[in-house]
Amino acid sequence: MQLDALQELVNIGVGQAAGTLNEMVQSHIHLKVPEVSVLSLQEAQSTLESRLNGEFLSSVQLQFHGNFAGVAQLIFPTDSATKLVTILT
């Protein structure tokens, strides 16, 4: 139940981010519903390694504090991250 609530909060945030990106790049941005997982660092590393087959990645990390604390990461294939930076700069 708590993970479902977290998933919905992240989904709302992604929707708002897509709207902002639409305005910034003046183009329609389609983002998939994000996958939310609560993993240890070792589990996260193992999961990424198995899914990405050695592909290079770029990420943005956000630490948060308050009623609960944690770290959220947005992970992009490096080619996609480069395209996004090029469009935004």
pLDDT digits (tens, 9 = 90+) for 5-36: 888 888 888 888 888 888 888 888 777 777 78
Give the residues across from 57 on adjacent strands: 77
CA dist 76 and 42 (Å) reads 19
Binning the chain into helix, strand and coil, the percentages to the nearest 5 are 55, 20, 30
Give which of 58, 54, 55 is closest to 84, Cα–Cα: 58
Query: pLDDT tier at 42 (50, 70, 90 boundaries)?
Result: very high
Q: What angle do CA 60, 84, 32 make, to 5 degrees?
A: 75
Give the mean model confidence (pLDDT) for residues 36-41: 85
Which amino acid appears at position 88 of this protein? L
